[in-house]
Amino acid sequence: MNYSLPNIISFSRIIIAPIFYVLLTNNDVKSINIACVIFTIGALSDYFDGMLARLRKEVSDFGSFFDPLADKVLTSAAFFAFVSMNIIPLWMIVIITTRDIITTLLRLYADTLGTPIITSKAAKTKTFVQMVYILIVLIYLIILNNSSMLIIIIDHKSTIEYSIYLAMLGITILTMYTSVEYFIQNSILIKSLIKSDWIAITKIGVGSFIGAGYSSIAPGTIASTLALLIVIFNAPSYVIIIMTIIACILGLWSVPYLEDHWGNDASKIVIDEVVGMWLILSVPIFPKTWIWNVIALIFFRLFDIAKPFPISWLNSRKGSIWVFADDIVAALYTIMIMYLLLWMSVFIPIFKYLS
């Protein structure tokens, strides 16, 4: 496992993404201030992890794949928060997110072939521009929610908001341009992809949860954290239940093929962790706050790693059903703990802070 400092820094951006989203959408001055600090730290970490990797001579293929993925997760959290706050339109974010998903899948395919993927300067500029744009909007929100500072912008509010819209439109156009450039520069790789076994590629994408399983740092934890990002979409419990069932069905279809190629319950197979995490999040009685979501993640990972009985016994069994069985039991253990904490938050004063 490559637990290098640059990769850990990259991973931190994925960890803070849901926390940043929840704080920002709370829509109060204190939360927005904290969200702005968190995002600034995340944006700066994007510079420092690359610099450290070069200084420490820890540049790796995984880092080259994971670093831009972490950027995409953090910026997507900001953009979806802006959509929920009616700052920017959804269609722009759909374009940007679709581009990011496609390029991530293409990177994943290139890694399976051991082929380096070409990233243009325009694509790197796009990421920098997105980060700066998000920081500017965050500063605007801080001023907008601070009555003592509101006088600064009150006379120009409509102009500023229109400028924010035009800037986002420019970023969307830049994203579309980089997409075309990306596909042209990697045309050989795309032609190879078109001729590939799409069923096998789909199974790899499902089983690895769009490449999370390829992480050299705690792939199960990364997949579980990415699964937690569903809170960004404010999906109701019944939608999460449906997604859990679909993910389980697709996983049962994919795992036999993957185990033939990667081995029994290989570390790259992480769709089971996603199913377990979504199962916990689908319980409607739990508060949909970042505190409870983090509690769910921590306890689920503890049970999945420690493997108390019968998880250890289930994990020793071979077959696709058993790959999911141990994570489902870990999820059920987590649900029991969370029910207990929920009860304690009602009757025991010290635990009321969880509410």
Q: Is the pLDDT of residue 138 over 70?
A: yes
pLDDT digits over 281-302, tens only? 999 888 777 778 888 999 999 9
pLDDT at 173: 93
Q: What is the pLDDT of residues 74-106, one digit of tens each?
A: 898 899 889 888 889 889 988 998 888 888 777
First to last CA, the chain: 37
Query: Residue holding tokens 């990259």?
Result: 10
Residue 347 pLDDT exceeds 60? no
Look up residue 309 and give its DSSP letter. T
At 276 the pLDDT is: 94
* Residue whose structure tokens are 């319980």: 283
Say whether pLDDT at 28 is over 80. no
- Residues 6 or more apart whose CB falls under 8 angstroms from that of 278 comprise 227, 230, 240, 243, 244, 247
Average pLDDT, the chain: 82
Domain positions in the chain are: 1-195, 197-355
The residue whose two tokens read 């390829």 is: 214
pLDDT reading at 116 higher than 70: no
More confident residue, 298 or 6: 298
CATH 1.20.120 for the 1-195 domain, yes or no: yes
15 vs 214, 297, 349, CA distance in Å? 17, 11, 29
Residue 213 CA to residue 131 CA, distance in Å, equals 27
